[in-house]
Amino acid sequence: MRAADSDRQAVAERLRVALDEGRLDLHEYDDRLQRAYAARTYAELDALVGDLPAAGTVVPG
Question: Contact 49/10 with Cβ under 8 angstroms?
Answer: no
9 domain-assigned = yes
| Number of C-beta neighbours around residue 55 at 10 A | 15
59 domain-assigned = no
Question: Contact 45/54 with Cβ under 8 angstroms?
Answer: no
pLDDT, position 54: 80
61 domain-assigned = no
Question: Contact 42/1 with Cβ under 8 angstroms?
Answer: yes
pLDDT digit string (tens) for 1-60? 999 999 999 999 999 999 999 999 999 999 999 999 999 999 999 999 999 988 666 666
pLDDT, position 57: 67
pLDDT, position 28: 98
56 domain-assigned = no
- Contacting residues for 31 by C-beta, under 8 A, at least 6 apart: none
